[in-house]
Amino acid sequence: MAQNIYDHPDFFAGYSRLPRQVRGLDGAPEWPAVRAMLPELTGRHVADLGCGFGWASRWMREQGAASVLGLDLSRTMIARAKDDTADPAVEYRIADLETLTLPGTAFDLVYSALAFHYVADFERLIRTVHAALVPGGSLVFTIEHPIFMAAAHPRWNLDEDGRRTWPVNGYSIEGERRTDWFVKGVVKYHRTLGTTLNTLITAGFDLRRVEEFAPTPTQVECMPELAEELERPMMLLVSAHKPRRDYHAP
C-alpha cells in the first residue's frame, strides 16, 4: 500500500495552504500547458487518478465530460472533494494507485496530476491504465521531473559564484526517495526520464507530447518567485495515446 501522507494532520494543513489548493487550477502555473494537452472532453468518460480536492474533476465535467471518476488514497481529500461537488456525474472513491483496478475499455481519458511519483510499481499502473482506455483514448499526466526528485537532499545550494543550483546526484539509481515536505519522511519514487517514457511505449502507448515545464516570461513577471523554476525543470508533463488497431486491418 502506498504511503498515505495526505491524511497526516500536519501535512494536510500545510498542503491545504498551497496556492494550487487555495485557488484551484488557476493557482497551478503548469495548468495552461496541461490544458493544451487534453483532448476534446465533450461526451467523454474520464478517470482522474489522485484527484485530491477534485479541482480537475469538476473542471472536466464543466467542459462537457459525460462522467468523471475521481480516485484518491486520502480519505480527507475525498471527503473535501465530495463536499465541494454537487454533480451526480462526478463520482469520488478511495483507491490506492499501487493496487488500482479499473474496468476494461471504460474511459476516453485518464488524467493524473502529481501523483504517479508516489507509486512504486509504475509499470503495473501504466498497464492498468492502458487496459482501462478505449482504443483511441488518452493518458495525460504530470509528475515531479526526474531531475527535480533524483537528489538525496532536494534543496537549493549556492555555487562558487553565489548562484542557486539544484543538486543532481544518483540520477541513474532509481527507487525510493525520502524528503521532508511539511512533515519528515515523505516517500516518493524516482525514475529516469527514459524509464518513464519507455514504460509507456512498452505498455502500448504512442507518445503525443512531452513538456519539461518552465514558466513563461509573463508568468514570471506576475509571480517573480517562479523565476527559480527556470534553473531546473520541476515537472514533467506527458500526453500519450492508446492507438486504434483497426488501421492494421487488411
| Domain map (residue ranges) of the chain | 5-145+186-248
Residue 248, pLDDT above cutoff 50: no
Helix (H) or strand (E) holding 141: strand 133-144
Dump pLDDT digits (tens) for 138-185. 999 999 999 999 988 888 888 888 888 888 889 999 999 987 655 566
pLDDT at 211 over 60: yes
Query: 155-177 burial, b for 16+ CB within 10 Å, e for fewer?
Result: eeeeeeeeeeebeeeeeeeeeeb
- Of the listed ranges 9-18, 212-221, 227-236, the least confidently predicted one is 9-18
**Rounded average pLDDT over 222-239:** 91
Nearest-angstrom CA–CA distance, 213 and 32 = 11
* Model pLDDT for residues 73-104, shown as the tens digit of each residue: 989 989 999 999 999 999 999 999 999 999 99
pLDDT at 28: 87
177, β-bridge pairs: 188
* Count of helices and strands (H, E) across the chain: 9, 11
Predicted confidence band at 228 (pLDDT cuts at 50, 70, 90)?
confident
The mean pLDDT of 59-71, rounded to a whole number, is 98
Note the pLDDT tens digit of each residue in 4-25: 656 666 665 665 666 666 667 8
CA–CA separation, 212 and 179 (whole Å): 22
The CATH number fitting domain 5-145+186-248, selected from 3.40.50.300, 3.40.50.150, 3.65.10.10, 3.40.50.2020:
3.40.50.150
The overall average pLDDT reported for the chain is 89
